Chain A
């Protein structure tokens, strides 16, 4: 049961993302901190949908006009991407700490993170946050690749390690040349 007031911005589910337009889109966009705005249409990613649903900031409507809760959407979207919950955990943890979080460059558990109080659209992200999950080793070549991608884009590389219960700890990583 989804209870929300009439004027909660409505987002239309389309695949794994959602679209909004009009004043709702502007309101949700919040100076560029959520979604990608193109020709007045705001597209929200799956983790953004989850986060905004959890905060009661949007109403998610499917093709049949039915409102979906965060749990409904999680169930639905996990079928396509089993790692959605992991991605959401990291996304929301960073958001709750006051950062603006945007998707990274690769298909991996990776986000671009802006410094607190960043002027969106005028400055680049300060950090590249790369997620690691307890029990899952990563290839050395992968570490080398993220590290050089962070170096090239002049971002600080942060490793976010998520434990078996979803607790996240962050480590600043830097490659050093001897």
Chain B
């Protein structure tokens, strides 16, 4: 993240846009943050000339790290306000953010994984560079795990041919456990 100046993003409803095309590209380049508007799987970000849309998880993290200022209407909002807003517009934001932040802090590239039927795709280098990301499903409010969750995780690892990871949050210990399940031919 070195060499990135303060960047400004603006809230439109609950969507976060970096309107400066140069700064958006720099942010994407710095750690695969956000998605260039209307560009599917950008090959070379320097050729992309659009705004950048950030997820609320990304906006929250970058804001906490002091890289991103978030504007709403005519003013810059504080981190607490961004958190309140995120909670309102994204179901179980806190659980997912805890996992997102944990992985980003460990310097992984963390991208959405809705198309894989999960919460996050985790890369070591980045999409397009390493091809088999870990697919993370966060067990929300996870005091308990149902057997179906385990079977589903095992099945998905098998069919998606990616490592499907179940992230469980231990609220008491304030830590996250990650598990991988694979069908075992007994």
Contact = CB atoms under 8 A, between A and B. Distances in A.
A20 to B, nearest CB: 29
B108 interface: yes
Given A132-B150, A176-B178, A140 B183 contact: no
A105 to B, nearest CB: 20
Interface stretch (A34-42, A48-56, A71-79, A164-172): A164-172
Interface in B140-186: 142-148, 150-151, 153-154, 163, 165, 168-170, 172, 177-186
A175 B180 CA distance: 6
A139 B143 contact: yes
B27 interface: no
Interface size of B as a range: 20 to 34
Interface residues of A, number: 30
A110 B169 CA distance: 24
B103 interface: yes
A99 B142 CA distance: 34
Nearest to A131: B147
Interface in A119-156: 132-141, 143-144, 147
B144 A173 contact: no
A176 B186 CA distance: 22
B177 A175 contact: yes
B170 A141 contact: yes
Nearest to B149: A137
A99 B181 CA distance: 21
Contacts of B154: 171
A144 B151 contact: no
Which of B134, B179, B186 is packed against the most chain A CB atoms within 10 Å?
Answer: B186
A139 B139 CA distance: 12
Contact of A178 (B108, B143, B181, B185): B108
Nearest to B169: A140
Contacts of A132: 147, 150
A151 to B, nearest CB: 12
A178 B168 CA distance: 13
A94 interface: yes
Contact of B143 (A99, A140, A170): A140
Contact of A144 (B150, B165, B170): B170
A9 B181 CA distance: 42
B138 interface: no
A129 to B, nearest CB: 9
Contacts of A140: 139, 142-145, 168-170, 177
Given A144-B177, A173-B150, 10 more contacts: A137-B145, A138-B145, A140-B169, A143-B179, A144-B170, A170-B185, A172-B184, A176-B163, A176-B165, A178-B106
Interface of B: 102-103, 106, 108, 122, 134, 139, 142-148, 150-151, 153-154, 163, 165, 168-170, 172, 177-186
